[in-house]
Structure 1
Amino acid sequence: MPKKSNASSRTILDNTDRELIALLKRDARAPVSVLAEVLQVSRATVQNRINKLIDSGALLGFTIRVKEELSPNTIRAIMLVEVAGKSTSQVIQRLRRIPELDKIHTTNGNWDLVIELSATDLQAFDRVLRDVRETDAILNSETSILLSSV
């Protein structure tokens, strides 16, 4: 079973926890009874593990995925960002307030952050780029629009 994390330790997941997370990634709406059957454990065990994973912070929430065809005008892009000095944490806090930024990754190399973003149209895309670039401590950025996924 996972242990509740604190400042000095991490959540420890066993194989059942990892399998449960994998199943939930595929279908976050899967009934507890189905999850229990697949994992070959009781429904109470699955529910307890989900609760503990949420309480420990290992599971942050449940979401939906929408087919890209349902939002054909959505503009998706990857943005590479260079941050000044040791201000990455402050920049990330500011960027998290921009709802069009789907994911923010720290990285190594020439760029400090890799950002996945999506906007409803070119006007919104332009605004998002401006908001990111005007963020204090961002020195440079490069953005590539994703044209298709293969």
Structure 2
Amino acid sequence: MRLNDLDERIVHALAEDARRSYADIGTQVGLSAPAVKRRVDRLLASGAITGFTVRVDPAALGWETEAFVEIYCRRNTGPGDILRGLARYSEVATVSTVTGEADALVQVFASDVRHFERVLERIAGEPFVERTKSVLVLSPLLRRYTSGSPT
């Protein structure tokens, strides 16, 4: 489903703060609260909005170390194999197939560097992994939870 301008503005308002009232969002976008609710319900039903969640600073949960790991896979490894192999790691935040030399890029959170090292060793030991290349994040400078700018 492609969002129209009004739906996109509603989504941006929710992405900024999903706890905002429909009345507050309606005031911002020029609709009544019931009209905003109907649109949000339609966006949920269509799958354009996949859910509501809370964003937590990983450090508040004890995850002080962040890294990105490039995964280079053995021949005949499909995206489903990568997903099944890495989804069981609680330290893995995101897994994406990518262009370039690597087959996938994995975002990992760990309690410290030693914990990250253990996770990296386990990932490197997966049967589909030929090799890995990792970088530790020093300071996350910008994190966006929406894309584009509301009009």
**TM-score w.r.t. structure 2 length?**
0.79
CA positional deviation for 1:52: 2.1
| 1:3 corresponds to | none
3-state SS, counterpart of residue 143 of structure 1:
strand
Aligned to 1:122, which of 93, 113, 121? 113
Once structures 1 and 2 are overlaid, which stretch shifts more, 23-32 or 117-126? 117-126
CA positional deviation for 1:146: 0.4
Structure 1 counterpart of 2:101, one-letter code = N
**TM-score w.r.t. structure 1 length?**
0.80
| 1:20 corresponds to | 10
1:94 equivalenced with 2:85 (yes/no) = yes
Map 1:1-150 to 2 at 5 A: 11-67=1-57, 70=60, 74-84=64-74, 85-150=76-141
Q: CA RMSD in A?
A: 2.2
Q: Tell me if the contact between 2:97 and 2:105 (Cα under 8 Å) persists in the aligned partners.
A: yes
Aligned length: 140
3-state SS, counterpart of residue 129 of structure 1:
helix
Structure 2 counterpart of 1:109, one-letter code = G
Q: Tell me if the contact between 1:91 and 1:135 (Cα under 8 Å) persists in the aligned partners.
A: no
Q: Tell me if the contact between 1:87 and 1:137 (Cα under 8 Å) persists in the aligned partners.
A: no
CA positional deviation for 1:134: 2.1
Change (3 A) 1:50 1:131: farther
3-state SS, counterpart of residue 131 of structure 2:
strand
Q: How many angstroms apart in 2 are the aligned matches of 1:29 and 1:127?
A: 38
Change (3 A) 1:88 1:54: same
Which consecutive unaligned segments of at least 5 residues does structure 1 have?
1-10
Q: Which one scores higher on RCO, CA 8 angstroms, separation ≥ 6?
A: 2
CA positional deviation for 1:96: 2.0
Once structures 1 and 2 are overlaid, which stretch shifts more, 71-80 or 109-118? 71-80
Which consecutive unaligned segments of at least 5 residues does structure 2 have?
142-151
3-state SS, counterpart of residue 11 of structure 2:
helix
Instruction: Report sequence identity in percent.
Output: 24
3-state SS, counterpart of residue 65 of structure 1:
coil
Change (3 A) 1:97 1:52: farther
